[in-house]
Amino acid sequence: MAKAKNVSNFAALIAINVKYFSMKVSKILFSLLSVFFILFISCNDAEDEDVPLYSSYSNTMVKSFYLSDDTTSIVDNLSKRFFTIDLVSGNIYNADSLPYGTDISHLVANMEFSSPSKVEIYIKGKDDSGNDKTTTINYLESPSDSIDFSGGRGSVTMTVVAADGTTQRDYVIDVRVHQVKADSLIWENLSGSGLPASDAVAQKTLMKDGSVYCFTENEPGEYSLFKTATPGQGNWQKGTISGISDLDINSIIVSPEGFFALVGTSDSKTLVSSSDGVNWSPVAGSSAFYSLIGMYESTLLGIVKDGSAYKYASYPQQGELTAVPADFPVSGFSNTVSYKSDWGTSQIVFVGGRL
């Protein structure tokens, strides 16, 4: 009985100690959780002072941009002109410039946004006294106000403020216009040297194998050839063309073996060739050409006149002669330019006139 009583007392003691230990641990955990919660609230309060409650750069995005057709511009379908919106760099511009002379001083811009709170456009310019001035347009209130883009890049900027009233993004709007007329080339500095024969009545200059050949007719029936590898230095080597008469200087073209040309005054001229440009001889077995077009690879192309009809011809002749269309030039051809397309097809380009 004494042993059983001792066991019972020991069990009761353990239960009391466990209960006491559990209560103590609970108090410690509660204290730690309370401290952590207070620190967490304090940190959040400190961060909330610096971070806006609502921040979204999507509200500063320009979703579309185009110009209105109702302007004084000389361009048709101005609203169809494509503009690039670069949201990374903040640039809005037309990659394909407007035609030369387009008036961009009174253009109306049409833009679509994503719920901004404010959109302001700033236009830098000059007042009547020539002093710098900046005009501000509240786009959300006055979307139809015209904008002067003639000040060039950087003269028109825009600030878009998000719905939170704090987040904003700046843009540069650049309306580009070609500075020269289409199909016009302008050289600021142009240098050159005179012809080796200043008194020539006719001349044609060609390049072959790195050298420049200048054929001249000084007097009727008197022909010369000037050759140089450095035309800018004026060290021309002169040669006298002999053995032929009635040489058509403008018909001379470069061939793989040398040169081709026509001699004669009628509509059916004789084809002649030369390896050096000085010594010429008739080409046996060729057609009597009216004019020469140029070389297509190793074939000479030209025009023959059959009665009142013009026909394509070649040397060596390939196939039957075919009629020249009414709108195709038959004389006055420029030098041909040869190239290969992306598909490997050889082509030539030239200009000419029906003279």
User: Would you state the pLDDT for residue 51?
Assistant: 47
The total of structural domains in the chain comes to 2
- 126 inside domain: yes
Cis preceding-peptide flag for 143 (omega within 30 of 0): no
- 100 and 208 in a single domain? The answer is no
What is the model's pTM?
Answer: 0.48
- 344 inside domain: no
- 26 inside domain: no
- 108 inside domain: yes
- 212 inside domain: yes
Q: Look at residues 260, 281, 282, 262 and name the one whose alpha carbon lies nearest to residue 331.
A: 262
Domain extent, residue 303, equals: 202-321
- 99 and 162 in a single domain? The answer is yes
- 61 inside domain: yes
- 206 and 309 in a single domain? The answer is yes
What's the first-to-final CA gap in the chain, in angstroms?
Answer: 144
- 126 and 231 in a single domain? The answer is no
Please give the average pLDDT of every successive group of 10 residues along the chain, which has 355 residues: 46 44 52 53 49 62 90 72 93 92 91 94 90 94 93 94 92 93 73 73 90 89 90 84 87 93 92 92 90 92 92 89 90 87 82 74
- 158 inside domain: yes
- 125 and 211 in a single domain? The answer is no
The DSSP symbol for 57 reads G
What residues contact 287, with CB distance under 8 A and at least 6 apart?
Answer: 271, 302, 304, 313, 315, 317
- 284 and 211 in a single domain? The answer is yes
User: Would you state the pLDDT for residue 7?
Assistant: 43
- 245 inside domain: yes
